[in-house]
Copies of this chain bind each other. A is one copy, B any other.
Amino acid sequence: MRAVAEISDPIHGYFYLSSVEKDIVDSPLFQRLRRIRQLASAYLTYPSAQHTRFEHSLGAMHLAGYAGNVLKDKEYVSSDDVQMLRLAALLHDIGHGPFSHLFEEVLEVKSNITHEDIGRMIIRKSAISDILAKHGYRADEISDLAFGQSSRMFLNEIISGGLSVDLMDYLQRDAYFTGAHYGRIDAERIISSLEVYDGRLAIDRAALNSFESLLIARYQMFKAVYFHKTVRAAEVMLLKAMMLADGHLHLSESYKRVEDYMRLTDDMTLANLLMLKVDVNNNNDKDDSNIKELRLAKRLAEDYRDRRLFKSVFESILQASSRLINRLTDARYLKDRCDEIAGIAGVDPDMVYIDSAKAPSIPRAPGKEEPRDLILVGKEPFRVKRIELKDIPLISSILGYMNMIRVYTIEEHREKVAKAALSVFGSEAESWYERIAV
């Protein structure tokens, strides 16, 4: 790989771009990632968290090159594989829309499509594919690698999952830019220990402590940052606003034309919400209920912009055994509880929001299945060992623990809704730990 450009990065220091990488990075489709923050709304809580998918993608590329070279030195892959891994990591987030995962929720509900589907489209059918072709790379191969569909499973695992460069870059980066103390990990230790066994990615036994730390760091970042109650408050507001305005702004259909999608950055989407026309006479949409929805969307966007955020009045971090867990994805159930709480509190149901978030405690493997084990390579006589994650004490304790439910409302209804939420959910949130942040 010949370096044609240099990147200076606070996380990884100096690193370099090859010719094909530079062409991709300089393309408008990729430059657009500079305007999509890595952590959507976390900057409203952690003011310095202004970092974007752009820097993260570069960092993931760099780590993929590092991992690739480790595997090349151990003769598992070729130089060409390393370049393809770097390209896959560089492009793994190319499909992300404004506010990343929030927009993805809109897409999923409205169009049943994910950022990975869009990423595949962009890699295969856009200026990106032309650049890849010009440099002799096949867009479909890069796309398969980027989204877990390579036939060599261990290559997929470098891009996503518990040993992935994605995880190792974002934990460090998010910790650095939020200032949270939890995301420090020993990526060098883990990556330099990578091995391949039976087609799967493995690590040297000596790196097990570091792997343990990696998963613990992720768990703590979820609690401190990704699921932070104020961070989620802002995100719930944006999500609701985008949902309400989608019929009008056609956000969920934007992916159909790359030119439209390219324009959808965080701030442009917020600007669109803020500029919604909600005056009856000044709006083509004469339907009253629509106008009401647009008004709410606009108001939410204004409150978001000026940081008048929802207040959390009930919170439960659910044990794996909680009865609630299965219902966290049941939209009907959540809608009913929302109405019930609003009814008890005597407030407009639009002013009560239930946020139920789940995240696998261990990152999903490339094929989305839940990972159960880890392969360790060591010295004789136990050269290779498949270890169940549940047998590693610290990790066993977090398996299944990343479910959370919160009730939000606006400042003025705080007390009423708090009481109502407690009466509706309280009996199911029994252990003290579950109610810790109320």
Contacts and interface: CB of A to CB of B under 8 A. Distances in A.
Interface of A: 7-11, 13-14, 26-28, 31, 34-35, 43, 45-48, 50-52, 54-55, 58, 176-182, 184-186, 188-189, 192, 205, 208-210, 212-213, 216, 219-220, 223-224, 265, 267-268, 271, 305-308, 376, 382, 385, 387, 391-394, 396-398, 401, 431-433, 435-438
Number of copies: 4
Nearest to A52: B50
A16 to B, nearest CB: 10
A172 to B, nearest CB: 11
A376 B396 CA distance: 25
B10 A176 contact: yes
A189 B14 contact: yes
**Candidate in A26, A188, A267, A436 with the most chain B CB atoms within 10 angstroms:** A436
Given A188-B13, A216-B394, A47 B7 contact: yes
Contacts of A387: 432-433
Nearest to A433: B391
B51 A48 contact: yes
A35 to B, nearest CB: 7
Contacts of A431: 391
A8 B179 contact: yes
Contacts of A34: 43, 47
A433 to B, nearest CB: 5
A191 to B, nearest CB: 11
